[in-house]
Amino acid sequence: MNKSVIFGVLTVAGLAAGTASAATLDDVKARGKLNCGVTTGLAGFASPDANGNWEGFDVDVCRAVATAVFGDPNAVDFTPLTSATRFSALASGEVDLLSRITTWTFSRDVDLKFEFAGIAFYDGQGFLVPKELGVSSAKDLDGATVCIQTGTTTELNLADYFRTNKMEYEPVPIETNAEGQQQYLAGACDVYTTDSSALAATRATFENPDEHVVLPEIISKEPLGPLVRHGDNQWGDIVRWTLNAMITAEELGVTSANVGELAGGTDNPEINRLLGTDGNLGEQLGLSADWAKNIISSVGNYGESFARNVGSETPIGIARGLNGLWTEGGLQYSPPFR
């Protein structure tokens, strides 16, 4: 008994010591798999399909990074994390990368010591209510019971919003989106609030989505993006430029359909640099020359991933809006590949 306790303590301490090492890329390569933290299940962003394969917008980021490192979009182990467990999982080294509808905030970046690799999705907090309540504005929500996920920016925004508008509410704390959905549908809360993309995704899975509306008010800025631990700049660069490669590919018209052909060489020098036919960008990252080509051919460019997972053709039906390319009136803008 005493022995096992001591050995247990030793292993825990040993693990803790392990996390201090910095070279995430080497660890990932040695393991042969990327450990990626995702949601416990949110349609369109990260959820397992009927065969248990994870799919979604956040999942695509994980797969893109795995492709950049291994050339294989399936070399990923997904770890479902709640909003409350995600940061300790990343900080302790349980996952190499967190791609889980996580808002980039000052304190998460600075105080919690994480590094956000960019903004994969521009979002904002909204409210979902049943139509039968007859509510048409968030200003009418005085006295409502609100389901809210703990450990999120959502609960802080909510407190601020009701306070500044001098309204009262009854928070019902929940731990996962599935739980929130169940409580909301059972009428245990009047309102469900979170990022409006997640609301759209949740509503799309309802039996009768038409009986529910997302209110027009967006009460916060929620720039969502993948993040890694502070202190390993090479790994941070890999994730950042993986995302940028997807965005740049869309801007340059490189798609999963034509990437094979374009990789043979084009007149556009930036495409050539991106796809590795010219220069040595991949090598500078510590990756193969065709890293970005592999990403586009197996995961697709940013627009393809968006359209496949959450776009207007899907049941979730989110318009590009702020997430359109800067050339099309949106905010998605990648620094140049040069």
Partner 1 sequence: MTTTTDPQTDSFHLSQLLYDSRYRSMTIQVVALIGFVSLVAWLVSNTIVNLEALGKNFSFGFLGQRSGYDINQRLISYSSDSNHFTAAAVGLLNTLLVAFLGCILATVIGVTAGVLRLSRNWITAKIMTVYIESFRNIPVLLWILAFNAVMTEGFPSPRDFKGDNATASMLFNDSVAVTNRGIFAPLPIWENGYQIVVIVFLLSIAAIWAFGRYAKKRQELTGDILPVFWIKLAILVLPVLIAYFVLGRPIGLEYPELKGFGFKGGLNIRRSLIVLWLALSFYTGAFIAENVRAGILAISKGQSEAAHALGINPKNTMSLVVLPQALRVIIPPLISQYLNLTKNSSLAIAVGYMDVRSTLGGITLNQTGRELECMLLLMGIYLLISLAISGAMNVYNKSTQLAER
Ligand X SMILES: N[C@@H](CCC(=O)N[C@@H](CS)C(=O)NCC(=O)O)C(=O)O
- Residue 204 interaction partner, one of partner 1, ligand X, none, beta carbon < 5-8 Å per kind: none
- Residue 39 interaction partner, one of ligand X, partner 1, none, beta carbon < 5-8 Å per kind: ligand X
Q: Which stretch binds ligand X (CB under 6 A): 48-56, 128-136, 149-157, 320-328?
A: 149-157
Determine if 150 is a binding residue for partner 1 (CB under 8 A).
yes
Residue 305 to residue 276: CA distance in whole angstroms = 22
> How many other β-carbons are positioned within 10 Å of the β-carbon of residue 172?
18
Torsion of CA 208, 210, 216, 220, to 10 degrees: 20
Residue 23 to residue 281: CA distance in whole angstroms = 19
- Residue 169 interaction partner, one of ligand X, partner 1, none, beta carbon < 5-8 Å per kind: partner 1
- Residue 103 interaction partner, one of ligand X, partner 1, none, beta carbon < 5-8 Å per kind: ligand X
Instruction: Please give the structure tokens belonging to residue 291.
Output: 């890293």
> How many other β-carbons are positioned within 10 Å of the β-carbon of residue 14?
9
Give residues 7-36 in contact with partner 1 (rule: CB under 8 A).
9, 13, 16-17, 19-20
Tell me 193's DSSP state.
E
Q: Which of 8, 131, 139, 142 binds partner 1 (CB under 8 A)?
A: 142
Q: Which of 103, 220, 294, 301 binds ligand X (CB under 6 A)?
A: 103
DSSP code string of 67-129:
HHHHS-TT-EEEEE--TTTHHHHHHTTS-SEE-SS-B--HHHHHTS-EEE---SEEE-EEEEE
- Residue 164 interaction partner, one of ligand X, partner 1, none, beta carbon < 5-8 Å per kind: none
Longest dimension (CA), the chain: 70
Q: Which of 85, 176, 183, 255 binds ligand X (CB under 6 A)?
A: 176
Contacts with partner 1, residue ranges (CB under 8 A): 6, 9, 13, 16-17, 19-20, 83-84, 87-88, 91, 107, 111-113, 132-133, 142-145, 150-151, 155-156, 158-160, 162-163, 169-175, 182-183, 186-190, 229-231
